[in-house]
Every structure is written in structure tokens, then in C-alpha cells.
């Protein structure tokens, strides 16, 4: 941070603004996939919904809850830090990491389940019960959307681990917790993206 | 004020340049990268023009030709046009123009340069190791089956996109948070508005490009066919994603040039712009409405007629903002005290070429005319009129306009006018024949063509060589001026704009202490009394 | 913001969590009824409600100035724009 | 006037009924563009000359044009652009909706050649023969990448997209020969993918009138006989050396390499060109490759033949529609 900023408050304001612009930009990375989803769904219609019904709804729903609770814990950690209860904040972030890993674990389980059935992206797709190309396209989109989201979950988890280490080394406290709020904003965005992915890929069959 | 060392001499040694966080030095680093890219792209362009001298093989094979026009497109669009003005002059002048010591995130600024350098290296390596022959648009399904190194080039351009986003974020936050005290949104120079609007587009459009190129790269390497008709995909959808980025991208290219032109016109006519808010709001208008019009690239691609109609209307609205700007610039000259020199000659070239290029754009947005003209040389001429006639002319005008401020020396006005004339006329004779080629029906990206098109192609190649000579001449006398140009004061053009109130070349942190400007950046009604430096007078008051 | 520590009350966050879980359950429940054409619209409506809850209460978007709200709105509008543009093309072919 | 503008702008001859209207709009728009650009440049040159001076000359009041003048100028411009759009879109709609009595001709775009299949089953490559004075509708698809069927003299162009059928129509006004060009970059010999539209007087093409419904299938039958397909494949449902054509379309074909595939256009074309790629389980791998020996239109005719036999019993019920599916049904209904 340059000394361009007279005081800490204006420097933080700049950091928050920069973060929000970055979040907007990051969300638009998914815009292309949402666009393809709406085009293929409008184009294929019925066979597309058939493939969508094949996804395990309970798996998606549990993952949604996992991410929502993890999002809560992030907000809880920020709240505790503001009240100077740093131990509590630390454990909240640990909970977030645990929930994030659970999410990835469930995702991995779902992927292997799909792959064993022969549901693979693009040319590798060879699932006989849903031969229609719409199913192949749906599952390719499914892999791309959830895969890109999973990458963002991994990035979010690394940020959380980094924050945990900073709290433990007393670099974050009630007065200085900008990076905690920024990390929190990023994780909430990852949760919001999944909130939209869940109905599109699991519910609206 | 003690004489602070200027940013060239503030620190010594290569390390101080390579690890600099001074926005001016980063601007200079970008300038070097961008100029090299212009050279490489220009060489590709000349080779293309030479090959088209005869209806069939002239110098090399069709495969080489296809790679060359693709590389010309990629290098010019992503390595030159997009960073050309924002990353060089935007970096250099945005902080000074709003009275800041530096950009909001200097380390991020340096990171943006190195990401640009990495992206450029990956792209150029991919071009050397096999190259790409899909056209800069990477249309599926050819980009999926092409034997070129589509995956590597897509990665390179993706990285360049990341650099573009990082610069965009940096400039947006700088403009929001680092304006000097008392400097509202309508007191800052119009160039800052142009860079701000460009950054908004960069931040919002580039991610979609990143995704579509990633999809094409993955599809090419592992065949995960979202656009492969064999696997049920629809290639037209790739065009939707690609043009959702690429139409706003052409506004990323032209808006900064418009910013430069606003500054040049006001300074050299010593007149405030006719209506500051018209130009400022037009920049934002172009930035947002530019996102609504991408469908006019796909009138004959098999898109539904409903979309064709919708995108046709929306495209007409975006032309209005450019028209407002042109009217305002022209009216600003009225009643001014005009000093005519190179930047203003470039403005004259810009005005004619950009207006005719823009209107030919309105012509192809008229859906029935586009049916005949789409993918012909009419389109090539249209976008070169805007890109070369607009952005490159703006880039050259910016180099000449800010040359004294950056180097502290003046360039030779005589050579400037001669080279500007050569560049503008050379450009005109290169691309006006291509409008006629488009009318006659010669498609784009044609290695060999029916004989009846030959005389226009020969004329176009002749024009291209004059343009190339003009560019070489420009490099020549500017290089000479860097070392032997006579020293100029802080404000050789007697401009009111803020960047002329700091010494030339500016000190490392621009201002000894945060500036408080009473005299506005377009306040030409304030008496000048011939004093060399309004800044000095201001400091005294 | 991290001015001098302002004790914030935790109750808000717990309530938000409850609301989010409830909305998730509602969305799942409605999906089981297979409302046909209306199903996707409702599901997306609920998702939008949940997203704005997270944005308003967890992210506290209102504390970061108007620019952050403008960014949020513009992002949503542009995603919708791309979806409508491509979706309309394929649907109306 | 029309002739003057046309030659001045280098436009090709106006050989189709829509060409003249489009050219008139072209003249209006281009002259406005040129006038606009020269007008702006002239105004600037005037100001540069009239108001030359330097910073020291006495101070002029800055220009202050009334707001309504600028609003009026911009409003007028927007009105003109919208007028261009209105006229342009109406012409675009006429270009996109073929008249009902148009003759249907199948066009296959393939890397670097155009092929045409006429209603009476005859086929031709590179050269498209059409009657003058009769609307002709081209139903086009591509065998590999996106091409674009472009006849400058008719002012018509339409991308030819693989995996779906796009259409284009024109009515040639008088006999003549006009260039066909490929306008969408499609690889190495994109610039050599040219053809000719030969417009013949209507009288010469009397025999060409025939109704068009299943003719392509009839051609397929003829091609299958000539090329020896029927020596190994039967059309009545009984398997022979090769699998029967009856009921094959859309059915699930078990493969020797395990798994299975839907017998759609793509699979059938591939099996003709590269029979061993996805070999039908239970049949000897003896089929010769027809790559390069079957023209694109003959392939389309054979596929049409197999499609027309799909309900003739034998083979299990087809599970899925043709790969082009609902996503790709073109605006105009393709005669099955």
C-alpha cells in the first residue's frame, strides 16, 4: 500500500472498494456458463430436464446447507473479532475450513459416482440410460459450473487458512481486521454463486 | 520549492526500474511493451499486404497466410490496442491529473505489468511454436479441430485478460478514492473520465472472454465439446460469448483515444470543452450501452430474427454517444485561440476517419446491409478506420501531446506534421480501397481472390507502405528528440490541465505536498499574462 | 470497518442463518411438488432472496458505500443480459 | 443514377430481386456517412483557420451553444439511425422468409467445396443450376466447420452451421453466371472454396419441376444400388453381411468395442467414411471405406434413405430424435 493514503481509514475504504470491484469481476466469470445453461435449456427443453433430474438432489441440498452454515461462521468470526473474542473467531474459521472440506468431499463423491456411471464431460460421456445429446451437454455444463465453483472454494479455503494463521500470530484483532473482512466477502460470494447453482443443477428438473 | 529530481533520475539502476512501484515508470515499461507489440503486429500487417499483391501465391503458402492474419489480429488486439493508451498514458497521467502521489495499489500496478509481460511471452511463444490459424475470433468448431496451438494461445490471452482486469480495478479505485481535496467528479480532466469508463468495461467484460477462451482451449485439447455439434453443442453460442466481450472490447480500445482527443482539443484551442458533462456522461454511456449490442456481429450467423432486430436497434443507440463527443469537440474549437501543430493534425485525421468509420459501423448495423457486407473487406476497413484511424491516431496524438511532459524535451514540429500527414494519408489509401473491395464482395481472410479484385489490393498495399514509412519516420524523429530535443518548461502548450502544473518530467511522487487547485483544468478564461507556469502563479497565490 | 471496536450484536447473524436454512428447505420442498413451468422461476426467486440476505446481512453491503451496491447491481444485470441474449436467440430460432 | 452509384461504389450487378432495394439503402447510408465525415472535417478546418492564434491573443468567450441545439442535433441523428434500422430490418425480414412456392435445393458445405442436391435427385458439385424468375430456397448444412454461402451478385449470405439446417432464398432476375464465395473462415483453402450459380432460362429446366418430398431418399435408393451397399445391407429388416437399414435410424447400435451408440446422421456418415471406427457388434469387419468415393450429397441421400426406412420394422424402437433435436430445427420446417 502506497503512502498515497493519508490515514488508515481511507486506505481501508480503497481496499474494500477494490475488493467489491474484484468480486463483481469474479462473478462475471460465471456469467458465460449461466448464459450457455440458459441457451441450452431453452434449446433442448425436455431431454435437458430429464438429465437434470438424474442429479442427486439430497447431495446438492446438503452441500447448500454446508456452504450456508460456513458462510454464517465467517460472519460469526468477523463479529467475534469485533468484540475482541479472538479465540472464538479462530475456531469459527476452523469450522469454515472444515465445512469447506466437507463440501469438496461431497463434491468429489458425487463426481466419482457420476464417473463410475459413465457420466463424464464432453466426448468421454457414455451413459446409456440418457443417450440424448442434451444429457451430454447438461453434464458437461454441470462439470464446468461445479468445477469452476470448486476451484473458487479451494481458493477461499486457502484464504481462510491464511487468516487462521494471522489470527494465531496476533496480526488480526479488534482494531485491525481488514483482511478478515475481505476474506469473508470472498467466501460469501462463493456461497452466493452456489446458491444459484443449486436450483439450476439440482432442483428445477 | 526545492527542485525534486524527476522520476527518470530519482532512482538509478535496472533493479529500480524492474521493481518500481512508481506509476510513471510502470507507464513507461508498458509503453515499451506496447510499442514492441505495435512493431510486431505492423510487420505481420505488411506481410499480409505483400501477399495480397497477386490473386494467388505471392510470397508464402495459404497455411502461413492464415497464421499471419491470426497473429496480426491477436497481437494487435490484445497486446497493443487494449493496453495501448490506458496502461501507458492512463498509468502515467491518471494519478497526476487527480492530484495523487500514485495509484491506489502500486504493487498491484507492477503485478499487472508482469502479468501482461507473461501473457505476451506465452502468446508469442505459442505463435513461434506452431502458431494458430483460427483467426483472432477463435470461432468453434474450427478452433476445436484446428491443428494450431489453440490451447497455448488461449492461455496467453487469458493471462493478458487478467492483467487488463488488475489495471481496471486499480484505476477505478484510484479515481474514486485519491482525488485531491476539493476535486469533485466534474472537476477532473476528461481523460480521467475516459480511463475510468474504460476500466469499468475492462473489469466487467474481460472475465467472459477468459471463460470463452478457456472453453475453447479445453475443447481443443480434451474435446469437452460445449460447442461441438457432434456432441450436441451449438457453435453459434460461442459467438455469443465471444462477442459479449469483444464488442465492449472495441470500446476499451476507442474510449481512451477519445479521452486524449478531448485533452488535445481543449489545450490547443485554449478553450473549455463545449459541454464537460456531455463528454463525461457519453463516456459512461458508451461503457454501459456498449454491452447491449454484441448481436450485430451475428446477423448472418444463424441467430433468430428476433435477436437480429433487437440488437439492431440497440446498436443505433450506442452510436449516439460517439456523435455527441464529435459535435462537442468540433464546437470546442469554435471561438478558441488555436495553435496548430502535430497533435491537432492527428485530431483532424481522427475526426474524419473516426466519423466515417463510425458511420460505416452504423451502416453494417443496418441488418439488411450487413447481409451483403458481413465478413467482407468492408468490415475490415470499418474496424481499421476505428482502430487505426481512431485509437492509433489517438495514441500518436498522445505521444506528441505529452512528449514534453514525459521527457522534458520538445520534438521537431516540422517532422511531426510531415509524419502525421504521411500516416493519415497512408492509412486512407490503405483502407479506402478495402471499402470498395467489400462492396465488390471480396470476403475477409482470403489468401487467394478472384482477379477482378487485384487492382484495389495493389492500391491498398501501396497505401500500407506509405503508412509504414510514416510510422518509421515518427519513431526516428521522436527518438532523436529524446536526446537532442530542446528543453521545454513545465507548460509548453500553455494548457490549464493539471498535469501541466507539475514540472516536466514530473518528480517521483508528483507533488511535494497534496495540491490544492483553485484554477480549474479548463479555466481558459483566467488571465494568463504569458506567465510560463500557471502552477507557479497558483502556488504564489 | 475497523474503527475503534464497536461491539456488534451476534443475534442478527443467527437469525439470518435460520432464514437461509428455512428458505433452502422451502426451495427444496417446492421442487418436490414439480410445479412444471413455474418451478424454475420460483426456485430462482428463492435463490435471489437468499443471495440478497447473504449480501445484506453477512456481507453487510450497506456499510461499504454506494459503489459496492452499484457493482452488485451491475453484475447481476449483466449476467441476466447475457442469459437473456443467448437464451432468446436459441428459443426464438 | 442507380447505375452511376453502383459502378462508383464497385458493387456487383444487381442480379436478384432484392438487390436493388438493398443497394438504394446502401447509397443513402454511405452518402450520409461520407457527408457527415467531410462535414465534420470541413467544420474543423474552418475553425482551425478562423480562430488561429496563441494563448496570448485576447480572450474569446468560450463557445456556448444552447442545450436545445445539441439535443436537436443528437435527436435528429438518432431518428435517422432508427430510420436506417427500420428500412434495413424490413428488408432483412424479406431476406429471411422465403416465399412458399420456392424450389428447395439441399446444399452441403464441406471443407472447401459446395455440393447441391436437387429435388429430382440429381446432384452437382461447385455449380448450382437454378431457373431464372423462380424463387429458390437453399437448405444448407455443413459436414465439418462453419462456412458461409455468399453470392455477392444476389446480396445474400447465410452461415452454414454444422449440426443444424440454415436456409437462404433468392430469385435470380435473368440468366447469367454468378460467383459463390465462402465468407466464414473455414481453414486452409477457405479462399478456394468457390462455386458458380448458373441461372438458366426457366424453359430449359422444365423437367426440374418435380415434387420434392422423399426424392432425396429415392436418390439414396439409387446410390445404394449403384455403389453396392445393397449387396451387404438389406432394406427389408433381415440382417445380411451388414446390419439391415430398416429400423436402423435412431436405434441403439451395440458396438464390438463395448457400449453402444445411437444410429444418427453423424454415426452413419462416420461409418460410411470409417466403418471400423464404431463397428456394429455381431457383424464381420469387412465393410470398405467410402471416404472420397461418395460425394457429400450422395452421403446425405444414403442417410435420408436410412432415415426413411426407420419405421419398416426390424431393429428396436428409436430412443432419441435426430441429433439436431429441437435445438436445431431451423425457422422453416424441413420436409422429412
Domain segments of chain D as ranges: 2-48+68-96, 103-209, 215-327
Digit-coded pLDDT (tens) for B437-449: 999 999 999 999 9
Cβ within 8 Å, pair C47-A199: yes
The stretch C52-59 carries a mean pLDDT of 93
Enter the CATH code of domain D215-327: 1.10.760.10
Least Cα separation, residue C86 to chain D (angstroms): 13
Overall domain count for chain A: 1
**pLDDT above 70 coverage of chain D, percent:** 82
The set of residues, in sequence order, having a beta carbon less than 8 Å from that of A136 and lying 6+ positions away, is A122, A125, B231, B232
CATH number of domain containing A98: 1.20.120.80
Position A12 in a domain: no
CB B214 within 8 A of CB B159: no
Digit-coded pLDDT (tens) for B285-300: 999 999 999 999 999 9
User: Nearest CB to A17: which of B176, B204, B212?
Assistant: B176
The stretch D245-269 carries a mean pLDDT of 79
Least Cα separation, residue A77 to chain B (angstroms): 27
Cell representation of residue D205:
429446366
**Partner D contacted by A117 (CB < 8 A):** no
**Partner D contacted by C67 (CB < 8 A):** no
Confidence tier at C93 by pLDDT (50, 70, 90): confident
- Alpha carbons A88 and A80: distance in angstroms, whole number: 6
Question: DSSP character for B447?
Answer: S
- Going from the C-alpha of A143 to that of each of A110, B219, C59, D193, the distances in angstroms are 11, 13, 28, 38
Confidence tier at D278 by pLDDT (50, 70, 90): confident
* Mutation for testing the B interface, residue in C86, C87, C88 having most B CBs under 10 Å: C86
pLDDT score of B157 more than 90: yes
The confidence score (pLDDT) of residue B531 equals 43
DSSP string, D55-104: TTSPPPPPP---HHHHHHHHHHHHHHHHHHHHHHHHHHHHHHS--TTPEE
The confidence score (pLDDT) of residue A194 equals 96
The confidence score (pLDDT) of residue B12 equals 87
**CB interface of A with D, residues 127-156, below 8 Å:** 128, 131-134
Mean pLDDT over each residue of chain B, to the nearest integer: 92
Least Cα separation, residue C71 to chain A (angstroms): 6
pLDDT score of B354 more than 80: yes
- Going from the C-alpha of B207 to that of each of A15, B210, B212, B225, C82, the distances in angstroms are 21, 5, 9, 20, 13
pLDDT score of B457 more than 60: yes
The stretch B381-409 carries a mean pLDDT of 95
Cβ within 8 Å, pair D331-C90: no
Digit-coded pLDDT (tens) for B239-276: 999 999 999 999 999 999 999 999 999 999 988 898 89
Confidence tier at D62 by pLDDT (50, 70, 90): low
**Partner A contacted by B61 (CB < 8 A):** no
The confidence score (pLDDT) of residue B2 equals 55
Vertex B387 angle, CA B247 and B358, to 5°: 70
The stretch D238-247 carries a mean pLDDT of 79
pLDDT score of D328 more than 60: no
Cβ within 8 Å, pair A131-D327: no
The stretch B392-411 carries a mean pLDDT of 95
pLDDT score of D192 more than 60: yes
The set of residues, in sequence order, having a beta carbon less than 8 Å from that of B46 and lying 6+ positions away, is B464, B465, B468
State the count of interchain CB pairs (< 8 A) between B and D: 296
- Alpha carbons B352 and D34: distance in angstroms, whole number: 9
The confidence score (pLDDT) of residue A204 equals 82
Cβ within 8 Å, pair C89-B304: yes
Digit-coded pLDDT (tens) for C9-31: 788 899 999 999 999 999 999 98
Digit-coded pLDDT (tens) for A19-71: 999 999 999 999 999 999 999 999 888 889 888 888 888 999 999 999 999 99
The stretch B469-483 carries a mean pLDDT of 94
pLDDT score of A155 more than 90: yes
pLDDT score of D114 more than 80: yes
Confidence tier at D185 by pLDDT (50, 70, 90): very high
pLDDT score of B532 more than 70: no
**Partner D contacted by A40 (CB < 8 A):** yes
User: Nearest CB to B223: which of A30, A35, A122?
Assistant: A122
* Mutation for testing the A interface, residue in C22, C42, C44, C75 having most A CBs under 10 Å: C75
The confidence score (pLDDT) of residue B533 equals 47
User: Nearest CB to A20: which of C17, C71, C87?
Assistant: C71
* Mutation for testing the B interface, residue in D58, D59, D157, D323 having most B CBs under 10 Å: D157
Position A19 in a domain: no
- To the nearest 10°, report the CA torsion of D50, D55, D57, D60: 70
The confidence score (pLDDT) of residue B118 equals 97
Number of helices and strands in chain D (H, E) = 8, 12
The confidence score (pLDDT) of residue D58 equals 62
pLDDT score of B387 more than 90: yes
pLDDT score of D322 more than 60: no
**pLDDT above 90 coverage of chain B, percent:** 79
- Alpha carbons D104 and D137: distance in angstroms, whole number: 5
**Partner C contacted by D100 (CB < 8 A):** no
State the count of interchain CB pairs (< 8 A) between B and C: 42
Q: Is the preceding peptide bond at B505 cis, omega within 30 degrees of 0?
A: yes
pLDDT score of B226 more than 60: yes
The confidence score (pLDDT) of residue B148 equals 86
Digit-coded pLDDT (tens) for A120-138: 888 888 888 888 888 999 9
**Partner D contacted by C82 (CB < 8 A):** no
Confidence tier at D225 by pLDDT (50, 70, 90): confident
Least Cα separation, residue C93 to chain D (angstroms): 6
The confidence score (pLDDT) of residue C39 equals 86
More confidently predicted of D62 and D106: D106
Q: Which listed CATH number (3.10.20.30, 3.20.20.140, 2.60.40.420, 3.30.70.1060) goes with D103-209?
A: 2.60.40.420
Mean pLDDT over each residue of chain D, to the nearest integer: 81
**Partner C contacted by D133 (CB < 8 A):** no
| Chain B partners within 8 Å of D146 (Cβ) | 139, 141-142, 235, 301
Position A149 in a domain: yes
CB atoms within 10 A of CB B495: 24
**pLDDT above 70 coverage of chain B, percent:** 97
Confidence tier at D61 by pLDDT (50, 70, 90): low
The confidence score (pLDDT) of residue B268 equals 92
Least Cα separation, residue C59 to chain B (angstroms): 20
Cβ within 8 Å, pair D325-A126: no
**Partner D contacted by C90 (CB < 8 A):** yes
Position A52 in a domain: yes
Give all strands of the β-sheet with D166-171 in edge-to-edge order: D123-125, D113-117, D103-110, D135-142, D166-171
- Choice among A8-17, B198-207, D179-188, D283-292 with the minimum mean pLDDT: D283-292
More confidently predicted of C35 and C57: C57
The confidence score (pLDDT) of residue B311 equals 94
pLDDT score of D320 more than 70: no
Confidence tier at D199 by pLDDT (50, 70, 90): very high
Do you know the residue count of chain B? 541
User: Nearest CB to C10: which of A9, A42, A79?
Assistant: A79
| Burial (0-12, 13-18, 19+ Cβ within 10 Å), B125 | middle
pLDDT score of D212 more than 50: no
Confidence tier at D213 by pLDDT (50, 70, 90): very low
Position A132 in a domain: yes
pLDDT score of D55 more than 80: no
Cβ within 8 Å, pair C89-B176: no
CATH architecture of the domain formed by B21-540: Up-down Bundle (1.20)
Confidence tier at C2 by pLDDT (50, 70, 90): very low
**Partner A contacted by B177 (CB < 8 A):** yes
The stretch B352-365 carries a mean pLDDT of 94
Same topology between domain D103-209 and domain D215-327: no
- C68-91 CB burial, b ≥16 within 10 A, e <16: beebbebbbebbebbbebbbbbbb
The stretch A127-156 carries a mean pLDDT of 92
Least Cα separation, residue B292 to chain A (angstroms): 14
Confidence tier at D211 by pLDDT (50, 70, 90): very low
Confidence tier at D292 by pLDDT (50, 70, 90): low
Confidence tier at A14 by pLDDT (50, 70, 90): very high
The stretch D174-196 carries a mean pLDDT of 92
CB B283 within 8 A of CB B256: no
What's the domain range around A37? 29-203
Amino acid at each position: 500500500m502506497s503512502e498515497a493514503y493519508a490515514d488508515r481509514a481511507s486506505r481501508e475504504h480503497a481496499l474494500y472498494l477494490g475488493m467489491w470491484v474484484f468480486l463483481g469481476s469474479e462473478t462475471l466469470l460465471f456469467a458465460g456458463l449461466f448464459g450457455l445453461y440458459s441457451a441450452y435449456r431453452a434449446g433442448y427443453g425436455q431431454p435437458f430436464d430429464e438429465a437434470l433430474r438424474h442429479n442427486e438432489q439430497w447431495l446438492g441440498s446438503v452441500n447448500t446447507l454446508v456452504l450456508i452454515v460456513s458462510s454464517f461462521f465467517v460472519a460469526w468470526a468477523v463479529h467475534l473479532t469485533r468484540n475482541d473474542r479472538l479465540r472464538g473467531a479462530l475456531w469459527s474459521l476452523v469450522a469454515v475450513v472444515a465445512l469447506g472440506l466437507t463440501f469438496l468431499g461431497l463434491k468429489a463423491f458425487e463426481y466419482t459416482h457420476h464417473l463410475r456411471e459413465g457420466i463424464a464431460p464432453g466426448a468421454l460421456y457414455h451413459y446409456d440410460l440418457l443417450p440424448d445429446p442434451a444429457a451430454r451437454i447438461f453434464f458437461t455444463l454441470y462439470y464446468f459450473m461445479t468445477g469452476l465453483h470448486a476451484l473458487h472454494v479451494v481458493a477461499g479455503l486457502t484464504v481462510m487458512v491464511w487468516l487462521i494463521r494471522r489470527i494465531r500470530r496476533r496480526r488480526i484483532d479488534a482494531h485491525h481486521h481488514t483482511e478478515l473482512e475481505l476474506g469473508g466477502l470472498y467466501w460469501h460470494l462463493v456461497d452466493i454463486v452456489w446458491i444459484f447453482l443449486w436450483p439450476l443443477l439440482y432442483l428445477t428438473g | 520549492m526545492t527542485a525534486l529530481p524527476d522520476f527518470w533520475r530519482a532512482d538509478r539502476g535496472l533493479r529500480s526500474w524492474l521493481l518500481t512501484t512508481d506509476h510513471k515508470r510502470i507507464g513507461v515499461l508498458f509503453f515499451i511493451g506496447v510499442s514492441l507489440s505495435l512493431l510486431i503486429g505492423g510487420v505481420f500487417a505488411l506481410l499480409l499486404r505483400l501477399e495480397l499483391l497477386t490473386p494467388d501465391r505471392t510470397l508464402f503458402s495459404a497455411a502461413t497466410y492464415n497464421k499471419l492474419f491470426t497473429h496480426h489480429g491477436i497481437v494487435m488486439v490484445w497486446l497493443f490496442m487494449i493496453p495501448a493508451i490506458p496502461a501507458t498514458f492512463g498509468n502515467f497521467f491518471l494519478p497526476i491529473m487527480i492530484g495523487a502521489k500514485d495509484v491506489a495499489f502500486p504493487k498491484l500496478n507492477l503485478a499487472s505489468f508482469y502479468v501482461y509481460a507473461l501473457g505476451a511471452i506465452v502468446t508469442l511463444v505459442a505463435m513461434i511454436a506452431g502458431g494458430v490459424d483460427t483467426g483472432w475470433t477463435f470461432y468453434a468448431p474450427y478452433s476445436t479441430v484446428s491443428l494450431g496451438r489453440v490451447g497455448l494461445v488461449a492461455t496467453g490471452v487469458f493471462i493478458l485478460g487478467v492483467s487488463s482486469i488488475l489495471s481496471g480495478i486499480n484505476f477505478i479505485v484510484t479515481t474514486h478514492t485519491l482525488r485531491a481535496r476539493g476535486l469533485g467528479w466534474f472537476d477532473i480532466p476528461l481523460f480521467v473520465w475516459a480511463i475510468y469508463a474504460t476500466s469499468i468495461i475492462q473489469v466487467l467484460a474481460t472475465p467472459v472472454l477468459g471463460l470463452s477462451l478457456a472453453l475453447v482451449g479445453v475443447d481443443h485439447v480434451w474435446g469437452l465439446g460445449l460447442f461441438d455439434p457432434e456432441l450436441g453443442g451449438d457453435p453459434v453460442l460461442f459467438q455469443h460469448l465471444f462477442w459479449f466481450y469483444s464488442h465492449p472490447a472495441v470500446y476499451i480500445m476507442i474510449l481512451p483515444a477519445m479521452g486524449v482527443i478531448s485533452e488535445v482539443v481543449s489545450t490547443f484551442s485554449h478553450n473549455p470543452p463545449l459541454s464537460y458533462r456531455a463528454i463525461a456522461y457519453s463516456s459512461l454511456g458508451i461503457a454501459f450501452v456498449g454491452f447491449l449490442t454484441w448481436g450485430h456481429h451475428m446477423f448472418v450467423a444463424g441467430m433468430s430474427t428476433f435477436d437480429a432486430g433487437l440488437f439492431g436497434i440497440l446498436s443505433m443507440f450506442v452510436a449516439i454517444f460517439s456523435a455527441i463527443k464529435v459535435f462537442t469537440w468540433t464546437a470546442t474549437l469554435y471561438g478558441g485561440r488555436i495553435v496548430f501543430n502535430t497533435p491537432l493534425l492527428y485530431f483532424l485525421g481522427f475526426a474524419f476517419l473516426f466519423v466515417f468509420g463510425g458511420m460505416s459501423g452504423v451502416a453494417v448495423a443496418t441488418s439488411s446491409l450487413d447481409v451483403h457486407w458481413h465478413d467482407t473487406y468492408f468490415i475490415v476497413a470499418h474496424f481499421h478506420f476505428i482502430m487505426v484511424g481512431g485509437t492509433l491516431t489517438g495514441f500518436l496524438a498522445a505521444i506528441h501531446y505529452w512528449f514534453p511532459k514525459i521527457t522534458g524535451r520538445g520534438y521537431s514540429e516540422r517532422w511531426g506534421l510531415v509524419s502525421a500527414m504521411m500516416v493519415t494519408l497512408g492509412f486512407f489509401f490503405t483502407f479506402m480501397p478495402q471499402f470498395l473491395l467489400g462492396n465488390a464482395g471480396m470476403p475477409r481472410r482470403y489468401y487467394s481472390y478472384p482477379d477482378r479484385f487485384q487492382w484495389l489490393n495493389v492500391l491498398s498495399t501501396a497505401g500500407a507502405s506509405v503508412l509504414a514509412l510514416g510510422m518509421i519516420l515518427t519513431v526516428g524523429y521522436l527518438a532523436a528528440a529524446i536526446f537532442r530535443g530542446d528543453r521545454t518548461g513545465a507548460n509548453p502548450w500553455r494548457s490549464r490541465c493539471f498535469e501541466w502544473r507539475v514540472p516536466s518530467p514530473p518528480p517521483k511522487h508528483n507533488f511535494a505536498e497534496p495540491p490544492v487547485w483553485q484554477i480549474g483544468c479548463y479555466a481558459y478564461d483566467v488571465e494568463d499574462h504569458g506567465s510560463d507556469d500557471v502552477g507557479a502563479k497558483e502556488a504564489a497565490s | 470497518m475497523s474503527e475503534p471496536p464497536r461491539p456488534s450484536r451476534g443475534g442478527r447473524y443467527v437469525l439470518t442463518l435460520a432464514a437461509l436454512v428455512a428458505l433452502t428447505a422451502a426451495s427444496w420442498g417446492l421442487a418436490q411438488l414439480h410445479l412444471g413451468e413455474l418451478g424454475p422461476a420460483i426456485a430462482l426467486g428463492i435463490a435471489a432472496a437468499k443471495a440478497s440476505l447473504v449480501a445484506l446481512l453477512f456481507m453487510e453491503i450497506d456499510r461499504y458505500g454506494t459503489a459496492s451496491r452499484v457493482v452488485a447491481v451491475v453484475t447481476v444485470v449483466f449476467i441476466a443480459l447475457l442469459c437473456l441474449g443467448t437464451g432468446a436467440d436459441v428459443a426464438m430460432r | 443514377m442507380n447505375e452511376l452509384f453502383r459502378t462508383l461504389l464497385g458493387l456487383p450487378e444487381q442480379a436478384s430481386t432484392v438487390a436493388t432495394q438493398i443497394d438504394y439503402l446502401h447509397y443513402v447510408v454511405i452518402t450520409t456517412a461520407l457527408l457527415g465525415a467531410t462535414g465534420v472535417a470541413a467544420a474543423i478546418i474552418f475553425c482551425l483557420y478562423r480562430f488561429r492564434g496563441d494563448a496570448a491573443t485576447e480572450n474569446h468567450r468560450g463557445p456556448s451553444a444552447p442545450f436545445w441545439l445539441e439535443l436537436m442535433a443528437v435527436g435528429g441523428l438518432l431518428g435517422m439511425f432508427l430510420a436506417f434500422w427500420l428500412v434495413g430490418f424490413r428488408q432483412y425480414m424479406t431476406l429471411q422468409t422465403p416465399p412458399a412456392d420456392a424450389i428447395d435445393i439441399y446444399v452441403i458445405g464441406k471443407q472447401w467445396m459446395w455440393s447441391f442436391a436437387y429435388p429430382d435427385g440429381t446432384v452437382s458439385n461447385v455449380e448450382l443450376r437454378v431457373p431464372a424468375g423462380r424463387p429458390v430456397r437453399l437448405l444448407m448444412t455443413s459436414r465439418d466447420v462453419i462456412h458461409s454461402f455468399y453470392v455477392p451478385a444476389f446480396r445474400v449470405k447465410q452461415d452454414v452451421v454444422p449440426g443444424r439446417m440454415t436456409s437462404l432464398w433468392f430469385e435470380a432476375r435473368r440468366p447469367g453466371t454468378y460467383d459463390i464465395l465462402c465468407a466464414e473462415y473455414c481453414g486452409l483453402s477457405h479462399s478456394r472454396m468457390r462455386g458458380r450459380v448458373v441461372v438458366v432460362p426457366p424453359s430449359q429446366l422444365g423437367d426440374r419441376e418435380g415434387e420434392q418430398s422423399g426424392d432425396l431418399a429415392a436418390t439414396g435408393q439409387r446410390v445404394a444400388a449403384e455403389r453396392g451397399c445393397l449387396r451387404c445391407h438389406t432394406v427389408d429388416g433381415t440382417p445380411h453381411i451388414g446390419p439391415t437399414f430398416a429400423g436402423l435410424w435412431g436405434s441403439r447400435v451395440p458396438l464390438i468395442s463395448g457400449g453402444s451408440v445411437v444410429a444418427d446422421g453423424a454415426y452413419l456418415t462416420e461409418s460410411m467414411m470409417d466403418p471400423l471406427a464404431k463397428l456394429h457388434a455381431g457383424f464381420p469387419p469387412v465393410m470398405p471405406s467410402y471416404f472420397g468415393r461418395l460425394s457429400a450429397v450422395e452421403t446425405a441421400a444414403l442417410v435420408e434413405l436410412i432415415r426413411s426406412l426407420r419405421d419398416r420394422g426390424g431393429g428396436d424402437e428409436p430412443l432419441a430424435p435426430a441429433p439436431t433435436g429441437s435445438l436445431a430445427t431451423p425457422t422453416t420446417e424441413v420436409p422429412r
